[in-house]
Structure 1
Amino acid sequence: MTSSPPPAHTDRAHSFNAAAAQYAANRPSYPPALFDALEELAGRPLAGARVADIGAGTGISTALLHERGADVLAVEPGDGMAAHFRLTHPGIPIVRGDGNALPLADSCADLLTYAQSWHWTDPDRAVPEALRVLRPGGALALWWNRDAAGRHRVDRAADRPRPPIDRYAERETAAVRAGRTHPERLRFTRREVRWSRRVPLDTHLANLGSHSRLLVCPGELRDAFLAEERDHLLEVFPDGFVEETYDVLLLVATTP
């Protein structure tokens, strides 16, 4: 039996728009320690900083930046995600666009943030755009929540057969390479922040189901994977609550 080709990158990027409410309700947030580290590495407080949150999605990171006192603007390409953002964060401005062609003026931002979104860009285009938009001494910050156990169950479920890979190492390498090859030679500083949350099993499964590899994979494969995961987790967490532990990978580079 011949397996079907993997879904295109653009199909996966667009898959979130039909699942915006599921994404917003179930995806993990970020701990205060992440933003403490961000301020340290960027060399300035978030309070009063002009921040553009790129690939803002439903506003999980944008709202937290706003709560820290940042003057934050969301940039989001997707119809469904932007609509949900406007519904749930009416007090925060949002514009449509992506990191490859930012709809922002030159030298207008103190900080550009990419929470779970840098891997949807072309770094060879996104790095020059970031440098165009950032003010002198500004900072580019990228971060991802990573399963601290090192498991990539979603990848294996959606792409069987597939050898295990470290997706986050690939993303980090791509970001660092793009920074080094640009004339400005951005140098990223790396930090990891561990945190955890305890959630109902249904929230955990809905979080898994909101990842693009599952959103675009055949329905019967997705349902079978989630059913198998439910049975396994009930053995490990018989009270029906799952302890999720994350290492947030944070990369920050400052401009000259």
Structure 2
Amino acid sequence: MTTTSRAHSFNAAAAAYAANRPSYPPALLDAVEELAGRPLAGARVADVGAGTGIATALLHERGAQVVAVEPGDGMAEQFRRTLPGVPVVRGDGNNLPLADASADFITYAQAWHWTDPDRSAPEAMRVLRPGGALALWWNVADHGVQWIADQKNRIGRFLGGSDIVFGAQGTAGRTLQAGGLDFTDRTVLWTREVSIDAHLANLASHSVFLVAGEKATRDFTDQERTVLRDLFPQGMVREEYAVDLCVAIR
């Protein structure tokens, strides 16, 4: 399974991604503003790897002037349906289609790991204005919660040891050394409650399942549904997340 095939797998599943992936808590954007030392309201923000616009929508609601950057056909199409009033340009973090010193913030939500930091870090510094902030974050399932740790192990066994499904645990720590930038990190805890079916659909929208194929994914989710019904007899799953946030200032 190559990184390229995983990255492109989202385009065929953009609607499911938009419908089932978790958003982010208000406390995350509070932390972004705190670490950046400036508000998002009125700021020029480039949201890179914007996907279907989950993070872009929150930035827009904060009053930021957002332009989205997205490489995938399917994801960009879904973005335009979701956020018709927000501009989206085609491109990726390794070669940003943006002018020098044109952004106050560059944000990556669940996306920096698809870039080559030796290229994307200098690109971010080129596009940021002096004092501007590069903010990277990932929703990571809180593996300190026992049922989530157990599910991670089941997924690993089913998919041959992959740990990408709920986000790459420890990604932020590795990012701190990426691209030669000086990052400050923060963890933001939050939860959401969804139906068992929505939880399984969220899982199935991750790249390792998308490239595994429909039958393999269906086999896993059928087995997992039985486990979750025993754990959550009321039919609602409490997903617990630790958002890994890293911010670097130009």
TM-score using structure 2 length: 0.92
The answer to whether residue 43 in structure 2 is matched with residue 49 in structure 1 is: yes
In the alignment, which of 131, 137, 146 is matched to residue 131 of structure 2?
A: 137
1:128-147 deviation digits (Å, cap 9, x = unpaired): 00010000000100000011
1:159-214 deviation digits (Å, cap 9, x = unpaired): 32x28699332x3244222243xxxxx21111011110111111100000000000
Report the aligned-residue RMSD: 1.7
> What is the CA–CA distance in structure 1 between the aligned matches of 2:247 and 2:86, rounded to whole Å?
24
TM-score using structure 1 length: 0.90
Are the counterparts in 1 of residues 12 and 74 from structure 2 also a CA contact under 8 Å? yes
Superposed displacement of residue 153, structure 1? 5.2
Are the counterparts in 2 of residues 139 and 252 from structure 1 also a CA contact under 8 Å? yes
Are the counterparts in 1 of residues 48 and 68 from structure 2 also a CA contact under 8 Å? yes
Moved more, 206-215 or 142-151: 142-151
Are the counterparts in 1 of residues 70 and 76 from structure 2 also a CA contact under 8 Å? yes
Instruction: Kindly tell me the number of residue pairs found equivalent between the two proteins.
Output: 242
Please name the residue that 1:167 is paired with: 168
Are the counterparts in 2 of residues 157 and 225 from structure 1 also a CA contact under 8 Å? no
Mapping of 1:87-236 within 5 angstroms? 87-150=81-144, 151=149, 152=152, 156=156, 159-160=159-160, 162=161, 167-169=168-170, 171-180=171-180, 186-236=181-231
Structure 2: which 5+ runs fail to align?
A: none
Tell me, what secondary structure is at the counterpart of 2:27? helix
In the alignment, which of 240, 243, 246 is matched to residue 245 of structure 1?
A: 240
Superposed displacement of residue 149, structure 1? 2.6
The answer to whether residue 17 in structure 2 is matched with residue 14 in structure 1 is: no
Tell me, what secondary structure is at the counterpart of 2:68? strand
Are the counterparts in 2 of residues 154 and 208 from structure 1 also a CA contact under 8 Å? no
> Percent of aligned pairs with the same residue?
62
Are the counterparts in 1 of residues 172 and 245 from structure 2 also a CA contact under 8 Å? no
